[in-house]
Structure 1
Amino acid sequence: MTFVDVSSVNAFIPGQVELDAHEARMIEQRDRLLGPAYRLMYQKPLHFVRGEGVWLYDPDGRRYLDTYNNVVSLGHCHPDVVEAITRQVATLCTNTRYLHETILELADSLLSTVEGDLSHMMLTGSGSEANDLAYRIAQVRTGGTGVIITETAYHGITDAVSKFSPTLGEGVPLGMHVRTVPAPAAYRTGPNVGERFARDVESAIADMKRHGIRPAMLIVDSLFTSDGILPEEPGFLKGAVEAIRKAGGIFVADEVQPGFGRTGSHMWGFQRHGIDPDIVTLGKPMGNGQPIAGLLTRHDVVEEFGRSSRYFNTFAGNAVSCAAAAAVLKVIKRDHIMDNARNVGAYLLSQVEALRERHACLGHVRGAGLFVAADIVTDQESQASDRARTTQVVNAMRENGVLISACGADHNILKIRPPLIFSRENVDLFVDVLDKALEL
């Protein structure tokens, strides 16, 4: 029997909707062959057979506007990335124990996008692995184990990283070495978020030390995506970064979701704050669907780790994945993807904000580039979270051909994260469908 996931607002729950015979048979096969740990999205699951640009297609040819999937940040089956993968897989696929030019081209291109002393690239197969590797390096660098995160953070699924990913739920307990701090949300707490966030980090450090735990790192998603997408005033992270460094720890910027030009103003989310991280972790959008992730770091941060530890990852850094990632970077620059994210993102934000005048259930709206959040509330005066309505909105949009999801501690925040090639026409369709869903 399919597991009932009550933690997600857009989870499939058996028995709630009628399925055709083929869908029911596929779900039965999933349960039997894949086991109970997997989940399906939406009250009525979707079956896709093809993707192109911002669209996904079901077996009947119906298309769905994808405004949630940032894995394919340049759109589904981008021709340049497909061509790069195809050419490389037909030529050579090997790992980092052999010389090949593509990984060097990728490293040079990536490192040219950052400032400061970030000078080394290390590759992994997923963002989870990247954050796992960052934690290993942090422990060697600092001699500590303590990790500070935000209250609804998500950083990955490895054993070590799941212990500092509270959004995985109560079934995945946090480590005793982990401390959480409230995410900086000015619209809930008022101004001075930087001072408040720095004080919270300092308090977490003090609590660690009281319990004999040496701080290793502060790690944040620079747009606080799982906490509800919080693009607060640039610069507010500086105090918290100073606090963790003063305590002997390092700062890790998790750019898996906000990176690769999504904010429109900068290539990386941390650059909005004028800070130089000790480690930057990368993931999902890096290969536009081809599994590749990694981190950027300074020589002094990784020097001792490099002397004492041998790092090797069979798939990470393979020539095919490197070719895909190199193609992604070329397209971002050639096609002015960041300009599109900034301009279309501003239009998207304004159009969603305009819906607040028509719908009392639409609360605070915020965004940076093509990353927009909208709270679903009982009413705009109380701003009380309305999870049930959020579920209704997410699934109504799915029924009308637009894919979206939700985030935040109360699962009431619409997470609008389309491919970076999104157009104004795509925005108009999205807003029209959202408008109708909010009326229900």
Structure 2
Amino acid sequence: MTEDMLARRARLMGPNVPTFYRNPVHLVRGQGVWLWDAAGKRYLDCYNNVAHVGHCHPRVVAAIAGQAAVLNTHTRYLHDNVLDYIERLTGHLGHGISQAIMTCTGSEANDIALRMAQAVTGKTGIIATDNTYHGNTAAVSALSTRRPPIGGYPGHVRFVPAPDSLRPVGGSVDGQAQAFAAHVARAIAELEAAGHGFSGMILCPVFANEGLPAVAPGFLDPTVAVIRKAGGLVIADEVQPGFGRVGSHFWGHDWLGFAPDVVTVGKPMANGHPVGAVLARPDVMGAFREAFGYFNTFGGNPVSAAACLAVLDVMADEGLQAQAATVSAHVMDRMRALRHPLLAEVRGAGLFFGAEFVLDDAMTPATAFVADLVEAMVARGFLLNRIGRGANTLKIRPPLVFSLENADSLIDALEQALRETPVAA
């Protein structure tokens, strides 16, 4: 069955379409934190931040169905839902951010954010870390180092070394924040010298794709000072850490303690309905609207906005941000108690966890071991994955409805998998 479906995918979707896991999982149903495959096997979803308030949450389903039965159109007509949602969402934001453009994906939102920085500064140079991901459009895919663009990276893009707990930028954990800022300052100087100028820097506040390094509030302060001095914008990509995932705060940038000029959001917004947004101060939005004509046929449609509103309602009514903080503390306690000869560090930010494995004192990534560990967990009915430059960090990112009982089931299974997964010689 799986082989037949893989062959059919290749015939209809082309080669190299990515799937998770060596034996791809054929999912047919979801509810809350649970997913079921075509054979009836149940999996605990420890990875999915799309189903933010749980798979098929009945209130979100009802909101989508109810609005779809009444009206669905776009923002060139007037409708209330999109305005109600922007008011609700920006109510969770500070720093003067009060306006939004609705999109269908985080990629689109990040693409607009880059153009906002260009509109405000009149320059094109952009900085990102050297181990990140911000989407699939031509502009933002040039910020990813996973696969170089055809023809090479554009001249207006500069990469700086990503922060790292085990291999800190600058050589020491204590000096990493200043060293990171120094690399940003150097990149700004290069962009100015090359004639592109500097428009801004885009980053994830928890450096999720970089491997979730153990940075602390205040880490970015020296970098923000450098960016501000150069006249650039700070763009916070909140697609992964936003919407209460960090537990203590609604946004990753508030947890890290910096004020962005632009915030981009996506996956968790509508619990699986395709929605994204870029949020900005009025002066930034005004500059963008003056410099660029932009319209998105499906962005901000009434059905998507209804789903977004329902997610905020569920989060508030079920206390999911507070639950994320409680469950996070419990998971971190249990992860710190894990013992394995290759386990170098465990890290967490709300319902976002990493466990990094290395082979030796030189911090050689234990890539193959972590790949085997992920497969061992999938075989036990737990969906998670791996991240980091060496793909040697176990990545755990469950929906916000993940409970203490779910957490114990996960760590119990992880302890068993660590005992039983062979360590290659």
TM-score bucket (shorter structure)? over 0.9
> How many angstroms does 1:145 deviate by?
1.0
Answer yes or no: is 1:429 the counterpart of 2:409: yes
Which one of 14, 32, 35 corresponds to residue 35 of structure 1?
14
Contact conserved, 2:64 with 2:306, CA < 8 A, in 1?
Answer: yes
Residue 373 of structure 2 is matched in structure 1 by 393
1:395-421: CA deviation from partner (whole Å, max 9, x where unpaired): 111111111111111110111100011
Contact conserved, 2:142 with 2:149, CA < 8 A, in 1?
Answer: no
Residue 178 of structure 2 is matched in structure 1 by 195
Quote the Cα distance in structure 1 between the aligned partners of 2:7 and 2:210: 34
Contact conserved, 2:63 with 2:310, CA < 8 A, in 1?
Answer: yes
Quote the Cα distance in structure 2 between the aligned partners of 1:48 and 1:116: 41
SS state of the match for residue 338, structure 2?
Answer: helix
Residue 355 of structure 2 is matched in structure 1 by 374
Residue 262 of structure 1 is matched in structure 2 by 245
Answer yes or no: is 1:416 the counterpart of 2:399: no
What is the CA RMSD across the aligned residues, in angstroms? 1.4
Distance 1:231 1:316, change over 3 A: farther
Contact conserved, 1:122 with 1:296, CA < 8 A, in 2?
Answer: yes
> How many angstroms does 1:249 deviate by?
1.3
Answer yes or no: is 1:169 the counterpart of 2:150: no
Quote the Cα distance in structure 2 between the aligned partners of 1:330 and 1:160: 34
Which one of 320, 337, 346 corresponds to residue 320 of structure 2?
337
> How many angstroms does 1:79 deviate by?
1.2
Residue 96 of structure 1 is matched in structure 2 by 75
Contact conserved, 1:186 with 1:193, CA < 8 A, in 2?
Answer: no
Quote the Cα distance in structure 2 between the aligned partners of 1:156 and 1:429: 33
Contact conserved, 2:142 with 2:148, CA < 8 A, in 1?
Answer: no
Which one of 280, 291, 305 corresponds to residue 288 of structure 2?
305
Q: Quick one: which amino acid aligns to residue 344 of structure 2?
A: G
> How many angstroms does 1:187 deviate by?
4.2
Moved more, 396-405 or 330-339: 330-339
Q: Quick one: which amino acid aligns to residue 329 of structure 2?
A: A
Which one of 284, 297, 304 corresponds to residue 321 of structure 1?
304
Number of corresponding residues: 415
SS state of the match for residue 157, structure 1?
Answer: coil
Contact conserved, 2:166 with 2:363, CA < 8 A, in 1?
Answer: no
Q: Quick one: which amino acid aligns to residue 104 of structure 1?
A: L
Q: Quick one: which amino acid aligns to residue 115 of structure 2?
A: R
Contact conserved, 1:235 with 1:272, CA < 8 A, in 2?
Answer: no
Residue 291 of structure 1 is matched in structure 2 by 274
Q: Quick one: which amino acid aligns to residue 178 of structure 2?
A: E
Residue 5 of structure 1 is matched in structure 2 by none
TM-score between both structures, scaled by the size of structure 1: 0.92
> How many angstroms does 1:188 deviate by?
3.0
SS state of the match for residue 280, structure 1?
Answer: strand
Residue 362 of structure 1 is matched in structure 2 by 343
Contact conserved, 1:164 with 1:175, CA < 8 A, in 2?
Answer: no
Quote the Cα distance in structure 2 between the aligned partners of 1:222 and 1:204: 19
Q: Quick one: which amino acid aligns to residue 203 of structure 1?
A: R
Quote the Cα distance in structure 1 between the aligned partners of 2:43 and 2:193: 53
**Runs of 5+ consecutive residues of structure 2 not aligned to the other structure:** none
Residue 185 of structure 1 is matched in structure 2 by 164
> How many angstroms does 1:269 deviate by?
0.2
TM-score between both structures, scaled by the size of structure 2: 0.95
Quote the Cα distance in structure 2 between the aligned partners of 1:169 and 1:177: 17
1:42-88: CA deviation from partner (whole Å, max 9, x where unpaired): 11111010001111101222101111111111111111111111111
Answer yes or no: is 1:71 the counterpart of 2:50: yes
Quote the Cα distance in structure 1 between the aligned partners of 2:15 and 2:149: 14
SS state of the match for residue 280, structure 2?
Answer: strand
> How many angstroms does 1:382 deviate by?
4.5
Residue 18 of structure 1 is matched in structure 2 by none
SS state of the match for residue 355, structure 1?
Answer: coil
> How many angstroms does 1:102 deviate by?
0.8
Quote the Cα distance in structure 1 between the aligned partners of 2:358 and 2:223: 31
Quote the Cα distance in structure 2 between the aligned partners of 1:152 and 1:232: 16
Quote the Cα distance in structure 2 between the aligned partners of 1:87 and 1:264: 31
% of aligned pairs identical? 46
SS state of the match for residue 106, structure 1?
Answer: helix
